[in-house]
Amino acid sequence: MAGCTNDPYRSSEKGANVFYTTFNEPPKHLDPARAYSSDEYDLIGQIYEPPLQYHYLARPYELEPRNTGRVPEPLYYDKEMRALDHDAPAQRVWRAVYEIKVNKGVMYQPHPAFATDAFGKALYLGLKPQDVKDVHEIKDFRATGARELKADDYIYGIMRLADPQIESPVLSILEKYILGLKEFSDLLRIDLEEARARRRAVRGASYNQTVDEKEDPIALDYRRHPLPGVEKVDDHTFRITLKAKYPQFVYWLAMPFFSPLPREADLFYKQGPLADRNITLDRFPVGTGPYMIDTFNPNMEIVLARNKNFHEEGYPRRGEEGDLASGLLRDAGKDLPFIDRIVFKLEKEAIPRWNKFLQGYYDTSGITSDSFDQAVSVSAAGRAELTDAMKKKGIRLATSVRPSTYYCGFNMLDGAVGGYGPDKRKLRQAVSIALDYEEYIEIFNNGRGIPAMSPLPPGIFGHIEGADGVDPYVYGWDRARNRPVRKSIEEARRLMEEAGYPGGRDGEGRPLVITFDNPWTGVDASTMINWYIKRFKLLGIQLENRTTDYNRFQEKMLKGNFQFFCWGWNADYPDPENFLFLLAGPNSKVSSQGENVSNYSSPEFDRLFRIMENMDNSPERLKVIREMLSIAQRDGPWVWGYHPVAFALLHDWVGNVKSNAMANNTMKYLKIDATLRERRREGWNRPDLRPIWAIAIVLALGSIPAIISIVRKRAGKKK
């Protein structure tokens, strides 16, 4: 009993330079061509290095090269391949060429795929099941090797995106831009089908595609077909050619999809016996980054260890105003990374995660709605501050607006709520007013959100603060207090009347019933739905809830079989184009399976969108965006909803933390003070054994009657 401890780690880990954090579900893909979720990026961001990265400290977000000479400037060409100016109009641009220079001397992490024998032949190709009897992890291979990063690796990585077996989630988008990618991927698909047909012919009726490809994966040879959009200039230079002007493309170069991938590694993992042991590229990445996978046990923990081959990279020397004062530049120029090992522990449940953070076993934590009051209080000035209990523990708070938006929308194709007539607009405006997101944020997010005026969150070009940015159909402006005021519910009711639904009843007196589609599950779902029902009821509208699982939800969205829905969007890159395209007519979900779920289509908006998407950030662009926003605000296809604000808590032994919503490779900048952490943990976690003694005493007392009765029985017998 005295040995009781709530320390979840082995005692050998005490005082080590290790960072402890969590993941809440096993990552599905660590393959950079497939990974597309933030928890996967948390891992591979530290391992793979795409050509660009976001500057850690600078704001607004700014790209910087990573193992490449500089941020590439596109060269534009017209149909005759004549060079064009940088600000050439989009319709004249025929090709856009990005040339990327790769630094020399960058080495990959040590990995068995690079291991060679005395003759330079790969050591671990052509493995048989008996060769890998004792191999359970990548660590179990005795020999490793490494080699220099080359332009070919980037090219190979892009070619893999087109491999039909990979199912890259961005292939369909990139096919629109990269020259020849579509044709290339179609040819690969034909190759794949041919390979399958050949195997089928050999096996006959007993052919089982899944089993067959499990035992012997099909390795397509990408070199058989040309990919004109990606060409190698020399060993350390390559070019990407786009079919159109697409200024946002540089942001793509900071996403893991464009990471270099050595061909050796791909071939290594395409061996049946390895796949049989779950040793795949999806679990054991091969990169040039500061960390490499040490342990991959997605059901328990994932451990990253320092990559000893990591190239030189220094902590940034400049930052935003105030970074110097807050000590964020103290380590300027020092070699990265600072921490030896990063331990990700699986924590599916919010309560244990939170409690272990408070006990000092995790170094950082988010805040759930339920632990909010314990951690944060909002000061009289309306600013979020940590509670005294947190301050006493030395915990610090970091906030950041995420580049995302949670919105609800109407189906513009629907007869009752859609359409562009003034009455329909008024109906939607009334709903927009009634859905009081100030209250919603207060109840469900503890104020961690900003009611949206348009799809553009703060920090994105085009977002306007203050009176100018307010949606005039939903808000007024309170000059005295200098803040927006939601229009009153009476005004919304009046709008309902003008829309032809006085008191929520149509001309025949039937109540207006609107169906509400959402894929919500989890503990808050029912209370959230109830909130929506309550708010609609204020207008006399009956909201009919239709919660379904995510599949059916998507299917309904695709078919346009809905009236009102709620969804969210996380930006891929910090550009207004990545938000406003959600309202562009050509992206309509029903007609072209795009991401415009409410199927909003306004010719004027679409015209401006085409202009805006090819502009650089400039006052002209801002003007176009404002025009677009006012059109959208008038039509009201969405209830704009809110932009979530992320709150993160940090213990005082963690240093160099600055929230960066775009970058995913930030762990190399972090620093910890392990001795301080050890001291704190010991102070906070003294086991309390008193109740155990109390229970023991109660049990002892409780058994007294039993003993007495035995004694009596015995005595009785003797008589």
Partner 1 sequence: MLTYIIRRILYAIPIVIGVNLLTALLFFYVNTPDDMARKILGEKNVTPAAIENWKRDHGYSLPSFINGKERGAARLTQTIFFQKSVPLLWLDFGRSDRNNIDIGSEIRSRMWASLAISLPTFTLGVFLEIVFAMALAYFRGTYLDLWGVVLGVVMMSVSALFYIIGGQYLLGKELKLFPISGYDHGIYSMKFLVLPVVIGVLSSVGVGIRFYRTVFLEETGKDYIRTARAKGLSEGAVLFKHALKNAMIPILTNVVVSIPFLFYGSLLMETFFAIPGLGSFTIDAIQSQDFAIVRSMVYLGSLLYIAGLILTDISYTLVDPRVRFE
Partner 2 sequence: MPIILSTDLIVYFLIAMTVYFSVGVRREGTLRTAWHELKRKRLAMVSMAILAVYLGVALLDSIRYRDAVVDGNGAAVRSAQGSTVYSPQALSLLDRAFAGSRLDTEKTYSAPFAAHLYTKESVELADGTVARDYPELKHPGGHWLGTDKVGNDVFFAALKGVRTGVVIGAGTTIIIIPFAIFFGVIAGYYGGAVDDIVQYVYTTLSSIPGVLLIVAFMLLFGGSGYQGGFISEKDLAAGVFVPNDRLFWLCLILGITSWTDLCRLIRGETLKLRELEYVQASRAFGVSGLRILYRHIVPNVMHLVLITFVLQFSGLVLAEAVLSYIGIGVGPEMGSWGNMINTARLELSREPVVWWNLLAAFAFMFAIVLPANIFGDAVRDALDPRLRMR
Residues that bind partner 1 (CB under 8 A): 4-8, 10, 25-26, 28-29, 36-37, 136, 164-165, 167, 169-170, 172-173, 189, 204-211, 214, 275-278, 280, 282, 297, 299-300, 345-349, 351-352, 355-356, 359, 549-552, 554-555, 593, 595, 685-689, 691-692, 705-706, 709, 713, 717
Contacts of 426 (CB under 8 A, 6+ apart): 495, 496, 498, 499
Task: List 405's β-bridge partners, or say none.
Answer: 569
Nearer to partner 2, 369 or 554 (CB): 369
Which of partner 1, partner 2, none sits in contact with 554, Cβ below 5 to 8 A by type?
partner 1
CA–CA distance, 120 with 476 (Å, rounded to integer): 73
Q: From the CB of 122, what's the least distance to partner 1, in Å? A: 23
CA angle 373, 376, 380 (to 5 degrees): 105
Answer for which of 73, 131, 373, 604 binds partner 2 (CB under 8 A) is 373
Nearer to partner 1, 116 or 165 (CB): 165
Which of partner 1, partner 2, none sits in contact with 207, Cβ below 5 to 8 A by type?
partner 1
Tell me the residue length of the chain: 719
CA–CA distance, 67 with 51 (Å, rounded to integer): 6
Task: List 232's β-bridge partners, or say none.
Answer: 238
Is residue 6 near partner 2 by the rule CB under 8 A? no
Which of partner 1, partner 2, none sits in contact with 508, Cβ below 5 to 8 A by type?
partner 2
CA neighbor of 396 nearest in space, from 647, 205, 600: 647
CA–CA distance, 680 with 339 (Å, rounded to integer): 19
Nearer to partner 1, 145 or 272 (CB): 272
Among the residue ranges 117-125, 241-249, 365-373, 674-682, the one whose residues contact partner 2 (CB under 8 A)? 365-373
Among the residue ranges 131-139, 493-501, 520-528, 645-653, the one whose residues contact partner 2 (CB under 8 A)? 520-528
Q: From the CB of 127, what's the least distance to partner 1, in Å? A: 15
Characterize 352-368 residue by residue with b for buried, 16 or more Cβ atoms within 10 angstroms of its Cβ, and e for exposed: ebbebbbebbbbbbebe
Q: From the CB of 447, what's the least distance to partner 2, in Å? A: 8
CA–CA distance, 613 with 591 (Å, rounded to integer): 21
CA distances from 260 to 28, 232, 287, 347, 452 (A): 20, 13, 8, 31, 38
Q: From the CB of 571, what's the least distance to partner 1, in Å? A: 11
Q: From the CB of 610, what's the least distance to partner 1, in Å? A: 20
Nearer to partner 1, 584 or 608 (CB): 584
Q: From the CB of 709, what's the least distance to partner 1, in Å? A: 6
CA–CA distance, 582 with 584 (Å, rounded to integer): 6
Nearer to partner 1, 170 or 267 (CB): 170
Is residue 348 near partner 2 by the rule CB under 8 A? no
Which of partner 1, partner 2, none sits in contact with 547, Cβ below 5 to 8 A by type?
partner 2
> Is the CB of residue 681 less than 8 Å from the CB of residue 356?
no
Q: From the CB of 41, what's the least distance to partner 2, in Å? A: 27
Answer for which of 8, 511, 586, 687 binds partner 2 (CB under 8 A) is 511
Which of partner 1, partner 2, none sits in contact with 29, Cβ below 5 to 8 A by type?
partner 1
CA neighbor of 47 nearest in space, from 276, 310, 382: 310
CA–CA distance, 31 with 285 (Å, rounded to integer): 7
For every residue of 218-230, DSSP letters joined together read ----GGGS--TTE
Which of partner 2, partner 1, none sits in contact with 542, Cβ below 5 to 8 A by type?
partner 2
Query: E strands, 621-694, where?
Result: 638-650, 654-655, 671-672
User: How many chain residues bind partner 2 (CB under 8 A)?
Assistant: 52
Is residue 267 near partner 2 by the rule CB under 8 A? no
Contacts of 584 (CB under 8 A, 6+ apart): 594, 596, 605, 606, 609
Instruction: Give, as one character, the DSSP assignment of residue 369.
Output: T
Residue for token pair 């995660």? 353
Which of partner 2, partner 1, none sits in contact with 545, Cβ below 5 to 8 A by type?
partner 2
Is residue 490 near partner 2 by the rule CB under 8 A? no
Which positions from 446 to 475 touch partner 2 by CB under 8 A, shown as an x/- string? -x----------------------------
Answer for which of 1, 480, 699, 707 binds partner 2 (CB under 8 A) is 480
CA neighbor of 636 nearest in space, from 420, 385, 434: 420
Is residue 555 near partner 2 by the rule CB under 8 A? no
Is residue 547 near partner 2 by the rule CB under 8 A? yes
> Is the CB of residue 338 less than 8 Å from the CB of residue 373?
no
Q: From the CB of 549, what's the least distance to partner 1, in Å? A: 8
Nearer to partner 2, 30 or 512 (CB): 512
CA–CA distance, 60 with 68 (Å, rounded to integer): 22
Phi and psi torsions of 707, nearest 5°: -65, -45
Which of partner 2, partner 1, none sits in contact with 618, Cβ below 5 to 8 A by type?
none
CA distances from 613 to 46, 268, 511, 621, 678 (A): 31, 41, 43, 9, 52
Nearer to partner 1, 564 or 581 (CB): 581
C-beta neighbour count of 70 within 10 angstroms? 10
CA neighbor of 670 nearest in space, from 221, 305, 331, 177: 331
Q: From the CB of 556, what's the least distance to partner 2, in Å? A: 11
Nearer to partner 1, 567 or 669 (CB): 567
C-beta neighbour count of 555 within 10 angstroms? 12
Which of partner 1, partner 2, none sits in contact with 378, Cβ below 5 to 8 A by type?
partner 2
Which of partner 1, partner 2, none sits in contact with 443, Cβ below 5 to 8 A by type?
partner 2
Among the residue ranges 67-75, 283-291, 515-523, 655-663, the one whose residues contact partner 2 (CB under 8 A)? 515-523
CA neighbor of 287 nearest in space, from 585, 48, 590, 574: 48
Among the residue ranges 136-144, 169-177, 250-258, 524-532, the one whose residues contact partner 2 (CB under 8 A)? 524-532
Nearer to partner 1, 8 or 228 (CB): 8
Cα dihedral 500, 501, 506, 507 in deg (nearest 10): -40
Answer for which of 219, 443, 615, 622 binds partner 2 (CB under 8 A) is 443
563 alpha carbon, distance to own chain's centre: 28
Answer for which of 350, 611, 646, 676 binds partner 2 (CB under 8 A) is 350
Answer for which of 70, 128, 510, 623 binds partner 2 (CB under 8 A) is 510
Among the residue ranges 60-68, 122-130, 369-377, 591-599, the one whose residues contact partner 2 (CB under 8 A)? 369-377
Cα dihedral 589, 590, 592, 595 in deg (nearest 10): 0
CA neighbor of 576 nearest in space, from 427, 463, 431, 707: 463
Chain residues binding partner 2 by CB under 8 A are 350-351, 354-355, 368-371, 373-374, 377-382, 389, 439, 442-444, 447, 480-481, 503, 505, 508-511, 513, 521-527, 529-531, 533-534, 542-549, 552
